[in-house]
Amino acid sequence: MKRILLAVCGKTPQIITETLYALWDKGEFPQVIKIFTTRTGKEALYTKLLDPARGIFYKFCEEYEIEAEEIEFSWKDILVPRVNEIEIEDILTEEDNFAFLQAVLEETFYFTSDPDTAVYFSLAAGRKTMGAFFTLAAQIYGRCQDRLYHVLVHSDFEYSPHFYYPPKSPKNIELINSAGEKYYKSTEYAKISLINIPFFSVREKFSAEMLKKPFLPQELMALLEKAEEPKLKLHIRSCKIEWQGKSMTLPVAWFTLYLFFILCRKRVMDNKNCYLDMLEIENCKEEIASLYHKIIQFMPKKELPRSDTGIIALTAENIRSYRSKVNAKIHKNFGQLSGEKFSICSFGQKPNTKYGLNLMPHLIEIIDEAGEKWE
């Protein structure tokens, strides 16, 4: 599996060789290296690491017997986002931050699209927003084989312009203490730690459409919310209601009244006109009775009406009783919070109380295994 290092860098290019050393020490040296930086950082990387004659990257590879020519890392792999076609000098403005985030997401999307790669995100350098964007990219597109790393260098050597990695043969180098005084210390004490930072990826929640191209986080969140909107499913021939993996069965009479309210909601797209008062419901009793006779023919053991004041000849008392029983069972089986979303609700004061469902029509699906239309 090809290992890809995606790293951020500010004005201290030594963090790159320190990171590479830590990965080498762990046995995870990358085959591809991509560095995100600014124009100033790019110049430092060119001068200190990639100069063909004295670049420290090549010196490091030679000392640790790494074939530099087999590593995909050159000036083309130093990535500087642009604003108005000009490379950013720093991450200061909203435009700078947006350009940087977009560039990081695009590269992350590209490399994580290949199942035969493992992407290592290194957030050890640069401004805090740079590291935050890398963490966000890992959370959005990261997979089980990808890693989010931070590199910690012994505090004495952390900001030394003379230290790039621990050489095989330790040597004394010049350091500066907190008081600004020079002193010397052997590189044998220059411990570098590679910290694996756990992250939670949402990639598995994405649909195939969401993985066709890179999206900005706010676009992905909108698509996720749309994709994850649960649907209420009514199975006609079993009188079953299904919601987010849970289901329950209602007696035919209760189911009939519930289906009536569902059909009323499906017919009206706006919330304003989807509620009926008691008189309007009673005026629909023939429609409700017809629904009952239509549904009951599918039952293995037909539930015949026991009186002429039940579901086939509704009264206000019956309607309130059925509604109460349906809502109670919905809340019991699906929970109070979920149940409130699709129970038969009421609003307004008596005698002007109206009844209906708040759930939007596009979130309701009526299923008849025989393909009969109910809308």
Question: How many domains, in total, are found in the chain?
Answer: 2
- Tell me, yes or no, whether 169 lies in a domain: yes
Question: pTM, whole model, 2 decimals?
Answer: 0.60
Q: Are residues 210 and 252 in the same domain?
A: no
- Do 146 and 250 lie in one domain? The reply is no
Residue 218's CATH number: 3.40.50.10770
The predicted-structure confidence for 201-230, as pLDDT tens digits, reads as follows 888 777 777 788 887 777 777 776 665 667
- Residue 46 shares a structural domain with residue 160: yes
* Amino acid 77: pLDDT: 92
- If asked whether residues 38 and 148 sit together in one domain, one would say yes
Same domain for 142 and 104: yes
Same domain, 15 and 103: yes
Same structural domain, 78 and 110:
yes
pLDDT of residue 363: 86
Q: For residue 86, tell me if it sits in a domain.
A: yes
* Residue 71: per-residue pLDDT: 93
Sign of CA dihedral 158, 162, 164, 168: negative
185 and 250 belong to one structural domain: no
Is 375 within the bounds of a domain?
A: no
Ramachandran category for residue 85: left, alpha or beta (phi over 0 → left; psi -120 to 50 → alpha):
left
Tokens matching residue 109: 């999307």
Please identify, among 205, 227, 249, the residue that sits at the C-terminal boundary of a domain.
227
Residues in the chain with pLDDT < 70?
Answer: 224-229, 269-273, 300-309, 369-375
- Report the distance separating Cα 13 and Cα 5, nearest Å: 15
E strand map for 156-207: 172-176, 182-186, 192-196
Last residue within a domain, chosen from 207, 227, 247 = 227
Which residues form the domain of 92? Answer: 2-227
Q: Cα 144 from chain centroid? A: 15
Out of 227, 252, 277, pick the residue that ends a domain.
Answer: 227
Residue 373 within any structural domain of the chain: no
Per-residue pLDDT at 245: 82
Domain assignment present for residue 374? The answer is: no
190 lies in a domain?
yes
Predicted pLDDT of residue 271: 59
Residue 92 lies inside a defined structural domain of this protein: yes
Q: Is the dihedral of CA 286, 288, 289, 295 positive or negative?
A: positive
201, 289: one domain: no
Residues 24, 131: one domain?
A: yes
Report pLDDT for 62.
Answer: 93
Residues 124 and 240 placed together within one structural domain of the fold? no
Distance set, CA 347 to CA 60, 266, 279, 358, 369 (Å): 74, 19, 15, 11, 35
pLDDT of residue 301: 62
236 and 223 belong to one structural domain? no
